[in-house]
């Protein structure tokens, strides 16, 4: 029996020891990696039946009594609030009649939070608190789809490769290995308890850029089925407004932002050239090639840009100007993240550096 049930894999001869890999086995590594990355980043609906059957086998393997029920939630935000409350209520025992209360609607919770803090809370504040809850309870989850890989060989991806492709037989442990893999193949995070499991549906969106970093320009990069999610710009988690309302970003806002990564994103969203113009950047030099500016940024490298003019006029006879970001020391950009030696701060040297040249090497017949 294989874990992934890939029909293209011929059942390998069972082995109890694996010391070397054949070329045929090696050739399937990339295929296997991609299969598990796809499982890990799946946005399909959760497979409740597969999870619940597999999770019971996991409990049995852990010598626990069968759990009584699985409660499905749509996001880790809900899980982080439901699971501890349910666990605390169960730990306290059966409520007496005097202690019984009606349900506590979300709106009522919010109203009381507002009352306690003396003003109307805003979504961003409540989200921040929820995020804090989730982070603080990180160690109580099992990762589901997100733990398919791992630093060790016990991960579902590695175990299934060694079993399905290489024939490694884990004997008595095989059933639980398959069960654990199935929990990862069927849902997102889950929270095990003696009596219940809170299991989370998979996200409906996981958006990444070309380098595999979380990135989405018009919504949460990870978005669960109840709308809760995380906004991210090329792998940097940012407040929602940075993604949804970049027009609300101001120079003051950028300069008050202490997190360097978020500040860089805000500057990018605001526009580097516009930021240079609006933030009081220092003009370092001007010549026939352009105007060189420098903006010092606390706890980060300075932003240095050269403003150049397009030599081809627009239809109305005007000229467009562009800002080019250059190395703070005007080191020529050589490609492959390599840079040449520093240059003195002139506009000519700056423009030359964008072509991988030093100023004295740069002699364009015409600028563009």
Footprint of other proteins on residues 126-165 (CB under 8 A)? Answer: 134-135, 137-143, 145-155, 157-159, 161-162
Are the C-beta atoms of residues 222 and 230 closer than 8 Å to each other?
yes
Contacts (CB under 8 A) with other proteins, residues 63-82: 63-64, 76
Reading the block at residue 215, the tokens are 């990135």
Q: Tell the smallest beta-carbon distance from residue 86 to other proteins (Å).
A: 9
Question: Does 334 sit near other proteins (CB under 8 A)?
Answer: no
CA angle 317, 321, 327 (to 5 degrees): 160
Strand 236-237 versus strand 282-287 pairing type: unpaired
Options 3-11, 55-63, 103-111, 317-325: segment touching other proteins (CB under 8 A): 55-63
Instruction: Count other Cβ atoms within 10 Å, centred on residue 322.
Output: 13
Question: Does 177 sit near other proteins (CB under 8 A)?
Answer: yes
Interface residue with other proteins among 1, 13, 91, 363 (CB under 8 A) is 91
Nearer to other proteins, 169 or 268 (CB): 169
x/- binding map, residues 6-45, to other proteins, per CB under 8 A?
----------xxxxxx----x--xx-xx--xx--xx----
Nearer to other proteins, 212 or 302 (CB): 212
Q: Tell the smallest beta-carbon distance from residue 160 to other proteins (Å).
A: 9
Q: Tell the smallest beta-carbon distance from residue 290 to other proteins (Å).
A: 38
Contacts (CB under 8 A) with other proteins, residues 195-254: 206, 208, 212-214, 222, 230, 232, 235, 237
Nearer to other proteins, 80 or 304 (CB): 80
Contacts (CB under 8 A) with other proteins, residues 347-366: none
Nearest partner of 239 among 134, 137, 136, 131, judged by Cα: 131
Nearer to other proteins, 102 or 152 (CB): 152
Strand 222-223 versus strand 196-200 pairing type: unpaired
Q: Tell the smallest beta-carbon distance from residue 166 to other proteins (Å).
A: 8
CA distance 122 to 132: 16
Task: Give the H or E element holding residue 305.
Answer: strand 303-309
Question: Does 257 sit near other proteins (CB under 8 A)?
Answer: no
> For residue 266, how far is the Cα from the chain centroid?
17
CA distance 218 to 334: 34
Beta bridge partners of 236: 233
Q: How many residues bind other proteins (CB under 8 A)?
A: 77
Instruction: Count other Cβ atoms within 10 Å, centred on residue 217.
Output: 12
Task: Give the H or E element holding residue 334.
Answer: strand 333-335
Nearer to other proteins, 92 or 101 (CB): 92
Interface residue with other proteins among 51, 189, 233, 270 (CB under 8 A) is 189
Are the C-beta atoms of residues 359 and 348 closer than 8 Å to each other?
yes
């Amino acid at each position: 029996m294989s874990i992934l049930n890939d029909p293209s894999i011929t059942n390998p001869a069972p082995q109890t020891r694996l010391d070397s890999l054949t070329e045929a086995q090696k050739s399937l590594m990339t295929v296997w990696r991609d299969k598990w990355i796809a499982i890990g980043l799946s946005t399909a609906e959760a497979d409740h039946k597969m999870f619940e059957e597999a999770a019971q086998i996991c409990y049995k393997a852990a010598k626990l009594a069968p759990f009584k029920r699985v409660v499905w939630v749509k996001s880790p935000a809900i899980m982080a609030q439901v699971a501890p409350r349910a666990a605390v209520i169960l730990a306290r025992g059966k409520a007496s009649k005097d202690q019984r209360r009606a349900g506590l609607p979300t709106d009522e919770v919010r109203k009381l939070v507002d009352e306690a803090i003396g003003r109307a809370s805003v979504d961003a504040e409540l989200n921040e608190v929820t995020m804090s809850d989730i982070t603080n309870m990180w160690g109580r989850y099992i990762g589901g789809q997100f733990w398919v890989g791992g630093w060790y060989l016990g991960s579902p991806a590695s175990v299934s490769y060694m079993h399905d492709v290489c024939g490694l037989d884990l004997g008595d442990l095989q059933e639980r290995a398959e069960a654990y893999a199935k929990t990862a193949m069927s849902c997102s995070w889950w929270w095990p308890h003696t009596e219940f499991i809170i299991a989370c549906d998979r996200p409906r969106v996981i958006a990444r850029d070309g380098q595999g970093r979380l990135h989405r320009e018009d919504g949460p990069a990870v978005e669960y089925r109840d709308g809760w999610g995380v906004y991210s710009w090329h792998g940097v988690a940012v407040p929602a407004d940075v993604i949804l309302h970049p027009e609300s970003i101001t120079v003051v806002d950028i300069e008050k932002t202490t997190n360097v990564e978020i500040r860089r994103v805000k500057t990018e969203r605001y526009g580097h050239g516009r930021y240079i113009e609006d933030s009081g950047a220092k003009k370092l030099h001007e010549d026939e090639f352009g105007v060189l500016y420098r903006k010092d940024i606390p706890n980060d490298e300075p932003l240095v840009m050269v403003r150049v003019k397009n030599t081809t006029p627009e239809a109305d006879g005007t000229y467009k100007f562009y800002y080019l970001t250059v190395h703070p020391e005007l080191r020529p950009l050589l490609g492959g993240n390599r840079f040449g030696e520093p240059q003195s701060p002139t506009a000519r040297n700056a423009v030359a550096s964008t072509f991988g040249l030093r100023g004295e090497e740069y002699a364009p017949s015409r600028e563009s």
